Copies of this chain bind each other. A is one copy, B any other.
């Protein structure tokens, strides 16, 4: 796209002189002497992670046309198709892994989620509807119920004889589950719970299986017995008869068309004093005796509530994985196209440039490959953690808390990244990216709601931040009042200068002229870790400091003070999640055995880490962590890393291991390469024939 008319006059360039020169090693292409090459097969195996075989088996299933989405179906057709696919899943037997062997499962929690996530490649509606049935509805019976419920209800929910809804969210209460309005009042005389919806805002809403297929539901309600509200508990409630009509006292509405996931029949439910037997209370964490006495193994109502909700963390686990898969597919499609499609001829009279040779195109796609790799590695660690907690291998309170923090940190990052990545990939393919046949728009539409369901991303990040604040506060709980101040100052002395002022000036002077050293430092994972860790700690310490007086304040004033820090809290939590991803990527590198692969992946990890530093560069500058000089080196090195990675981009997305049956994108089918070859051959033949028309421009130039 060079316009030769636009070249400034010859002159000295002041800016050039002060620009840091970095990383002068030559950029190589695989095949050149000394050039690293990725072992795509080995890398692919590493990306598949701990449950590689389960994933591959699941991918065989999702490669089958009958499991896949048909674009353009009506909502009704799509709903019925997905319902039919759920039955195929039951026949295939893969959806019961997580259940106890006593009821025909395999007690395999990690493998279950790994296989489940892969369903996103067939149709996200299939993934989420099966998640509703087995990951939420049946899982609630499993985790919140006891043996009676397992033996009574699970066999039919596992076989899909009883499709069910997970009735937690209400129109008026999404993330704040503790405040739901639905009540379950115990009637001692009849030994029944009376489920009731007291007002419109307390209608259950957005529930999969509620609009049409569900014949039962696990309903969350405030458990009231003997005049005391013991907080939110879950109840097994039949909702429809065999003909599909609502049972007495139950009503509902169809949520209708949605932005995506239209293969799922989301709907609303409400209850007018609906009675269920006392034993329909899923009573693992709280029970009501015949006489109405409430008992619980967990004394604190708050802790009991979080424990109950904590058993349902697998939804967040699986969304993190599915979102990462969707990003990977989008990148595979867009990068494949970008290495075949040509546009504009800048460097040659005859050949146009391949899209991925444009700097901007590289900047758009390659850093997102790095993010998707980081997510992939972080997700596998997350899944291992989940498995060890749910299998009982390591399920202390601390383990469960760590798991939930991990879930609350990673799910927001990967689901937002999926929307961002799919969209950038779609735009990078221009008009063809907008056609349903190339997959992006369908994936993006379906994944959209991943950022707000199973915990709204902003609310989840706030939970992470509170955990970080608690950790931070514990660190200083026993210390004297000056401890924090000294802590912050000591940090400063050890690492870098805090805040503005004279200290930073000193650093600026020190930095000047030592560019070479600063680049090798940026390559050093110790430096990257320090930069990323320091930011989280400093932000949390700053917020902690500003909140220090909140105990002395009125409830309103304390809330206002906390609210004034909300935005930064969420940013700190995001930074924490990014650090966790970076660490997982770095640990994965240690396990990479092939030397060529390791070299390229190290660049990719550096790109991920320094990309994060670049994104938050203003923070590093304001807080004196990077001098202006070094900050410039960050951007220059990011550019260099992208250039280095360009020749490996296709290998990196091939390693995700998707087959054409998973991608189903015509622009990634090789058709574009055929078109390009045909066009180039046409022009070459024309030139060779001597019959090519002369360009008017060329003619005029000749005449001159």
For this complex, 16 residue pairs linking A to B, each with C-beta atoms less than 8 Å apart, are: A5-B470, A7-B547, A7-B548, A8-B476, A14-B499, A18-B499, A172-B676, A179-B345, A201-B675, A260-B441, A346-B559, A360-B570, A363-B567, A434-B452, A441-B445, A617-B621
Taking CB atoms, residues of chain B closer than 8 Å to A172 are 675-676, 679
Are A72 and B452 in touch, CB under 8 angstroms?
no
Residues of B within 8 A of A224 (CB): 693
Q: Is the CB of A484 within 8 A of B259?
A: no
Residue of B nearest to A557 (CB): B347
Cα(A348)–Cα(B560), bound, Å: 12
Q: Once bound together, how far apart are the Cα atoms of A693 and B224, in whole Å?
A: 7
Is B508 a contact partner of A8 (Cβ separation < 8 A)?
Answer: no
A148 located at the interface, meaning its Cβ lies under 8 Å from any Cβ of chain B in the complex: no
Cβ of A272 within 8 Å of any chain B Cβ, yes or no, is no
Known contacts A435-B256, A675-B172, A678-B200; decide if A6 and B618 are in contact (CB<8 Å): no
| A551 on interface, CB distance cutoff 8 Å | yes
Identity of the chain B residue whose Cβ is nearest the Cβ of A231 in the assembled complex: B696
Cross-chain contact A359 with B481 (CB below 8 angstroms): no
Q: Does any Cβ of B come within 8 Å of A456's Cβ?
A: yes
**Alpha-carbon distance A228/B172, docked complex (angstroms):** 70
Q: Please report the C-alpha to C-alpha distance between residue A306 and residue B269 in the assembled complex, in whole angstroms.
A: 60
Near B by CB (< 8 A), chain A positions 648-700 give: 674-676, 678-679, 682, 693-697, 699-700
Q: Which of B469, B545, B566, B697 contacts A359 (CB 8 A)?
A: B566
Contacts of A72 in B (CB 8 A): 74-75, 256-257
Across the A-B interface, the 9 shortest Cβ-Cβ residue pairs: A259-B441, A13-B545, A617-B618, A12-B485, A11-B484, A257-B436, A347-B559, A8-B544, A346-B559
Stretch at the interface among A54-62, A121-129, A625-633: A625-633
Within the assembled complex, what's the spacing in Å between the Cα atoms of A632 and B500? Answer: 9
Report Cα–Cα, A466/B1, bound state, in Å: 10
Residue of B nearest to A222 (CB): B693
Contact in complex: B11, A358 (CB < 8 Å): no
| A622 CB contacts on chain B under 8 angstroms | 617, 621, 628, 631-632
Decide if A693 touches B227 in the complex (CB within 8 Å). Answer: yes
A 619-642 contacts with B by CB, 8 A: 621-624, 627-629, 631-632, 639
Q: Is the CB of B359 within 8 A of A675?
A: no
Of A179, A505, A563, most buried by chain B (CB within 10 Å of CB) is: A563
Q: How far is the CA of A479 from the CA of B9 in the complex (A)?
A: 8
A residues 289-338 with Cβ under 8 Å of B? 294, 301-302
Known A-B contacts A169-B431, A348-B556; A547 and B452 likewise in contact (beta carbons under 8 Å): no
Q: Which residues of B contact A524 (CB under 8 A)?
A: none
Interface centre among A75, A198, A431, A629 (most CB of B within 10 A): A431
Q: In the complex, what distance in Å separates the CA atom of A693 from the CA atom of B181?
A: 13
Is there an interface contact between A436 and B10, defined as CB atoms closer than 8 Å? no
A658 to B339, CA, bound (A): 46
Closest to A304 in B: B696
- Residues on B with beta carbons closer than 8 Å to the beta carbon of A425: none
A18 to B419, CA, bound (A): 38
CB contact list, A360-380 vs B, under 8 A? 360, 363
Q: Give Cα A631–Cα B618 distance, bound, in whole angstroms.
A: 9
Q: Which of A175-214 contact B (CB under 8 A)?
A: 175-176, 179, 181, 198-202, 205-206
CB of A14 within 8 A of CB of B545, answer yes
Q: Which of B4, B230, B440, B682 contacts A259 (CB 8 A)?
A: B440
A98 at the interface (CB under 8 A from B): no
A445 to B419 Cα, complex, angstroms: 13
Does A520 sit at the interface, judged by CB under 8 A? no
Question: Is A10 within 8 A of B481, CB to CB?
Answer: yes
Q: Is A287 an interface residue (CB 8 A)?
A: no
Which residues of B lie under 8 Å from residue A360 when comparing CB positions? Answer: 458, 566-567, 570
Instruction: Please tell me if A407 contacts chain B, counting CB pairs below 8 Å.
Output: no
